[in-house]
């Protein structure tokens, strides 16, 4: 933001001296160029790492491209994997506007899935559209309230929201296991304790012409809505003010407590929706399989996207692509599964380190 303001001022102060294309759009270019450069840097280092194992880095790059984006199937594979990540990333990115670090999206996802499944099981026999809408509502409310707990603990009891949201993940998992192995267990699920199935008619299916489920559309809509909310509404402006300086926000009369609770609810609602979609589009019931780590990967996505809801979309697709191509790396190059984690780690470090570059590249600076 500051870099943008600077360049705008530069234009305003010295209109006679033509600032040129680079200076005028420097900040925007930086936002695209720096992450791309960080990504390329990470790929280069990962190539070196793979070369140490005696594999050809050029093969590596090709298979990564081929497995993630090389064919129509690969694209669908990538998008399917990206779908839940967009929603769970929003669970971290929204509270980040308020300066909060919420890392408990996984818990909200599990509670959302559990709530949605319970709603569907309670409404067996109703029209599928009714069941589906009830599932969305239940998932959103369940997940929303879960993260609101962290927000409330922070607002009313001064508990660090990062710790509380993380610990709540384990509580959510314990609740899920308890219910799935106890009261909600389908007696027929002998060796894999699960709830009853929600029924094939109530599944939300795939986007016509593709193998990608509707979760992708939910994710895209939620990301755009979150962007509009944060950057184009007074609510979002208030949230960012409170995120920048809580005391100043209070002085100008903003109800910071309400902002925290509302944003936490919206954040949890996104992750809860991801849980609902995992049930309604993939698993068809709730069991321990839902704890697949989407909530945790979402944290990575949010940080790589620098907490910008729109940037979350390409970043989620990128990470979806990395995980989609991970299988091919194992199969063709004989790399262990952990190599994908190594790459994710290297990218993370590069992107965080590249943060220091914003506004410091002379080429893009406005003259002042």
Partner 1 sequence: MDFGRISRRHLLQGSAALALGSTLGIRGAAAAETTIGFIYVGSRDDYGYNQAHAQGAAALKKLPGIKVVEEEKVPETDAVEKTIESMINLDGATLLFPTSFGYYNPHVLKMATKFPKLKFEHCGGLWSEKDPKNAGSYFGYIDEAQFISGIVAGHSTKSGKLGFVAAKPIPQVLRNINAFTLGARLANPKATTQVIFTGDWSMPVKEAEATNSLIDQGVDVLTCHVDGPKTMVENAARRGAMVCGYHVNQSPLAPKAYLTGAEWNWEALYPKFVKMITAGEAIPNFYRGGLKEEIVKVSPYGEAVSAEARKHADDVKAKFMAGDFTIFKGPVVDNKGKTVIAAGTDRGQQDPELEKMDYLVEGVIGATA
Q: Applying CB under 8 A, which residues contact partner 1? A: 33, 36-37, 40, 43-44, 58-59, 61-63, 65-67, 71, 73-74, 77, 80-81, 177, 181-182, 190-193, 211, 213, 278, 282-284, 287-290, 292-293, 323-324, 327-328, 330-332, 336-337, 357, 361
Asked if 279 contacts 60 with a C-beta cutoff of 8 angstroms, the reply is no
- Min dist CB 149 to partner 1, Å, is 23
Q: 162: which residues sit within 8 A by CB, 6+ positions away?
A: 100, 101, 102, 103
- Min dist CB 306 to partner 1, Å, is 19
The Cα 189–Cα 194 span in angstroms is 6
Q: Which is nearer to partner 1, 162 or 177 (CB)?
A: 177
The Cα 145–Cα 334 span in angstroms is 44
Tokens 């990575």 correspond to what residue?
300
Asked if 226 contacts 236 with a C-beta cutoff of 8 angstroms, the reply is no
Q: Hey, is 185 helix, strand or coil?
A: strand
Q: Which is nearer to partner 1, 42 or 313 (CB)?
A: 42
Q: Which is nearer to partner 1, 213 or 306 (CB)?
A: 213
Q: Which is nearer to partner 1, 65 or 348 (CB)?
A: 65
Q: 299: which residues sit within 8 A by CB, 6+ positions away?
A: 88, 89, 92, 103, 105
Q: Which is nearer to partner 1, 158 or 182 (CB)?
A: 182
Which has the closest alpha carbon to 226: 116, 302, 114?
302
- Min dist CB 42 to partner 1, Å, is 12
- Min dist CB 32 to partner 1, Å, is 11
The Cα 295–Cα 274 span in angstroms is 9
- Min dist CB 112 to partner 1, Å, is 15
- Min dist CB 328 to partner 1, Å, is 6
The Cα 204–Cα 219 span in angstroms is 14
Q: Which is nearer to partner 1, 47 or 104 (CB)?
A: 47
């Amino acid at each position: 933001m500051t870099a943008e303001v600077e360049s705008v001022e530069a234009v305003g102060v010295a209109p006679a001296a033509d600032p040129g294309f680079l200076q005028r759009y420097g900040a925007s270019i930086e936002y695209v160029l720096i992450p791309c450069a960080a990504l390329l840097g990470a790929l280069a280092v990962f190539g070196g790492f793979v070369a140490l194992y005696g594999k050809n880095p050029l093969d590596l790059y090709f298979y990564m491209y081929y497995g993630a984006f090389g064919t129509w199937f690969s694209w669908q594979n990538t998008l399917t994997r990206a779908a839940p990540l967009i929603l769970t990333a929003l669970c971290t990115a929204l509270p980040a506007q308020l300066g909060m670090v919420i890392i408990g999206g996984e818990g909200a996802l599990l509670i959302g899935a559990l709530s949605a499944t319970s709603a569907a099981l309670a409404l067996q026999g109703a029209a599928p559209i009714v069941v589906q809408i009830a599932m969305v509502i239940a998932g959103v409310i369940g997940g929303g309230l879960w993260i609101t707990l962290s927000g409330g603990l922070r607002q009313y009891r001064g508990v660090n929201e990062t710790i509380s949201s993380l610990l709540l993940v384990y509580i959510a998992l314990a609740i899920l296991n308890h219910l799935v192995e106890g009261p909600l267990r389908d007696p027929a699920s002998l060796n894999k304790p699960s709830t009853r199935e929600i029924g094939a008619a109530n599944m939300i299916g795939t986007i016509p012409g593709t193998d990608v489920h509707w979760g992708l559309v939910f994710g895209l809509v939620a990301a755009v809505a979150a962007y509009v909310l944060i950057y184009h509404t007074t609510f979002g402006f208030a949230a960012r003010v409170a995120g920048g300086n809580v005391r100043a926000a209070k002085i100008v009369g903003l109800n910071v407590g309400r902002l925290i609770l509302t944003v936490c609810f919206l954040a949890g609602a996104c992750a809860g929706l991801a849980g609902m979609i995992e049930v309604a589009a993939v698993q068809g019931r709730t069991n321990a399989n839902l704890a697949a780590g989407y909530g945790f990967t979402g944290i990575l996505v949010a940080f790589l996207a620098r907490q910008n809801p729109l940037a979350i979309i390409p970043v989620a697709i990128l990470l979806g692509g990395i995980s989609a191509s991970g299988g091919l790396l194992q199969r063709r190059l004989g790399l262990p599964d952990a190599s994908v984690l190594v790459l994710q780690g290297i990218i993370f470090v590069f992107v965080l380190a590249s943060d220091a570059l914003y506004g410091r590249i002379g080429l893009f600076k406005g003259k002042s």
